[in-house]
Chains A and B, each alone.
Chain A
Amino acid sequence: MSKKDFDVIVVGAGPAGMAAAYVLAKAGVDVIVIERGKFPGSKNVMGGIFYRKPMDDLIPEFYKEAPIERHIVEQRMWLMDDVSHFSMGIKTQKHNSEPYNCFSVLRAQFDKWFSKKVVEAGALLINETVVTEPIVENGKVVGVRTDRPQGDLYADCVIAADGVQSFLAKSLGLRKKITPNKVALGVKEIIGLSEEQVNDRFGIKDSKEGVTIEITGPFLKGMEGMAWMYTNKNSVSIGIGVIIDDLINHNMNPNDLLESLKNHPSVLPLIEGGETREYLAHVIPEGGYKSVPRMYADGFMVAGDAAMLVDSVHREGSNLAVESGKLAAKTYLEARESGDFSEKTLSRYQEKLEETYVLQDLRYYKNLPELLEEKRYLLTEYPQFLIDAMTEIYTVDGVPKPEKFRKIKGELKSRFGYIGLAKDLYTIWRKLR
């Protein structure tokens, strides 16, 4: 090799990049992290859910010092139409004691804290610098070019953790073509309320406890998407993500969708009177397992969103980012022993990921994107049926119960047909097997 400034260059200081840098720095590797924002998290107002497990393995009991908003004790799932919602969920004290299950965080603060830990561990963090291209010599990635004067850097290995758009993975031809039917556009707001308002409105006793609500159903007018609300300390994150193709076909604007969500009779009382503090739009990769690219090349690995590691069914992303960053770092450490950073050695990275829940979860749902694309009605008609059935059952109007149940059964038959119902169930079972 001609030149070498560092052992490893990590591009992007999101959860994936920082997890990788943390593991490497702790192992004494000379690692540099390049981030284009003013500081890590500066461009990220994701008030989102951060999962404990992968982070806890990295920095034990991190939640005792990290800036977290609330630990989540209740998760609700709403099926919603224009006037009603049918609610399910789980609230459990098992999630109300250490080590907790997951947390609401404001990424701008959380990422900044994480980056401090990474720097303390010994990594160099360079902000306000954009990586413009990989430097490739003899088919091997040997470094990156940045937009700064004298901005070339050389290393044994580059880890691309540069998020959904991953310019690096694209320019190396690693990414599969992303089509607008596999990508969602997410818009979200942080709505400021007082701590007491959040507690009262979401039925919380202690300001440390939090609630999440995931919302889908016919209010989306047949589009595939998901809305959510998360409680922060003194604010609520509210957002909605919809597949871009659907937005185009329905001639819908995500801002209008968010506005109508905020004004929905089930939602409005929870956020009424609050002041919008921040607004963000961001792309979410939802192609699932089938869109996961080859995650390695000579001297190169891809982690996190850059590798399309998002589980949209369970709104998991940041945890998969941390897990993949860690594994990329571990793969580097193994490769270092033999001094061989070739594609062949680094392919162990993807093999390892396949052995973890990260790719196993994604693989489990691998047919889901196609299924939902083919049968959009699964997202509207069944939820609508449930809402109507529940409304019927809870309405006391003198109609005898047996008749109500007969009516519901009749609806089921006329809306789906017993054969249709059996077919749908069979398809879902087949696709998820």
Chain B
Amino acid sequence: MHFLVFIKQVPDAAQVRVDYETGTLIREGVPAIINPFDKHAIEAAVRLKNQFGGKVSVVCMGPPMAEDALKEAMSMGADKAFLLSDRIFAGSDTLATSYALWAAAKQIIKEEGPVDVFFAGKQAIDGDTAQTGPGIATRFNVPLITYVVDIKNVDPEKKTLELVRLLESGQEVIQTTMPCFLTVEEELNTLSYAPLPYLIRAAKTSVKVLNSKNTEIEAEYCGLKNSPTKVRKAFTPPKRERGEMIEGDSVDGIINQLYEKIEPVLKTMGKVQ
């Protein structure tokens, strides 16, 4: 079986600070990591490979330094790594990004053979749109299963598998056919401590760079010019003020004070006259 994982390199959110004057993120000097959800996607793919045989490919769109993310993916057990990097992608929104990743995936399929399961993270911790995975799945016209927390009953013969999705109010079990596209939650698995041979192989293997020259990508769908999403404004939410303490001698007194405070609000809601 062939598994293809889309991974994004993101700034380590734990170390990003906000410039309160301009309202923008200070990314300078912040270490880059693999988007945390995507690590669980890699882990899941590697486990399936170890169980059923085959290989795991990973692809990341980003600047040359995103190679670090791909190397890390290989040291987690991925076999082939592709870096999609080209100036024409600069300024891509999710529409342009999922187009480019789709085109890159087609190239990977050409080189490495058809894919049975595509993986992406639920969302990226910096962009947070959760649109990229679905955008790619739609272009491949394969079943899309989001918020995956468990993978069961994989049948390589019949090309079926069962997936558990996390919903607001419970879980949903779905059976689907392969090829399919999963976006995964962190609960899917716990990351394992990779064996040494994976790390050695990762250190020895180089990442293949894909760009507009060696891939059939049409520039007219890429980059800032072809990204309809416009970020109008980015701001940090105002800091929440501390709650007000209402004190008093008797319970009735406190309740009266409280009622006076909320009465105007209740009025605007039409709950009292």
Contact = CB atoms under 8 A, between A and B. Distances in A.
B196 interface: yes
The 6 closest A-B pairs by CB, nearest first: A149-B195, A148-B196, A150-B195, A151-B196, A124-B203, A126-B199
Interface of A: 32, 124-129, 146-151, 153
Contacts of A153: 196
A148 B203 contact: no
A127 B204 CA distance: 13
A173 to B, nearest CB: 26
**Chain A contact residues: over half helix, strand or loop, or mixed?**
loop
Nearest to A33: B203
A125 B200 CA distance: 8
Contact of B195 (A32, A127, A128, A148): A148
A200 B199 CA distance: 48
B237 interface: no
A233 to B, nearest CB: 14
A429 B77 CA distance: 62
A128 B197 CA distance: 13
A146 B196 contact: yes
A153 B199 CA distance: 13
**Chain B contact residues: over half helix, strand or loop, or mixed?**
helix
B195 A126 contact: no
A377 to B, nearest CB: 47
Contacts of B199: 126-129, 148
Contact of B203 (A125, A149, A151): A125
Given A124-B203, A127-B199, A148-B195, 17 more contacts: A32-B200, A124-B200, A125-B203, A126-B200, A126-B203, A128-B199, A129-B196, A146-B196, A148-B193, A148-B194, A148-B196, A149-B193, A149-B195, A149-B196, A150-B197, A151-B195, A153-B196
A124 B196 contact: no
Interface string B183-222: 0000000000111110110011000000000000000000
Interface of B: 193-197, 199-200, 203-204
- Give the residue among A146, A150, A153 with the most B Cβ atoms within 10 A: A150
A124 B195 contact: no
B203 A150 contact: no
B101 to A, nearest CB: 28
Contacts of B200: 32, 124, 126
Contacts of B195: 148-151
A396 B225 CA distance: 77
Contacts of A32: 200
8 contacts: A32-B200, A124-B203, A126-B196, A148-B193, A148-B199, A149-B196, A150-B196, A150-B197
A289 B143 CA distance: 70
A146 B193 CA distance: 12
Contacts of A125: 203
B266 to A, nearest CB: 48
Nearest to A126: B199
Nearest to B68: A39
Contacts of B204: 124
A263 to B, nearest CB: 28
Contacts of A124: 200, 203-204
Contacts of B203: 124-126
Contacts of B193: 147-149
Contacts of B194: 148-149
Nearest to A149: B195
B90 to A, nearest CB: 26
A127 B203 CA distance: 10
Nearest to A151: B196
B199 to A, nearest CB: 5
A139 B40 CA distance: 44
A126 B193 CA distance: 14
Contacts of B197: 150
A126 B201 CA distance: 10
Contacts of A127: 199
A423 to B, nearest CB: 56
Nearest to A147: B193
B69 to A, nearest CB: 14
A187 to B, nearest CB: 23
Nearest to A150: B195
A316 B196 CA distance: 35
Contacts of A151: 195-196
A215 B201 CA distance: 49
- Give the residue among B193, B195, B197, B199 with the most A Cβ atoms within 10 A: B199
- Give the residue among B196, B197, B200, B204 with the most A Cβ atoms within 10 A: B196
Contacts of A150: 195-197
B41 to A, nearest CB: 20
A126 B198 CA distance: 10
B213 to A, nearest CB: 25
A129 B199 CA distance: 9
Contacts of A146: 196
A343 B104 CA distance: 55
A129 B200 CA distance: 11
A148 B76 CA distance: 12
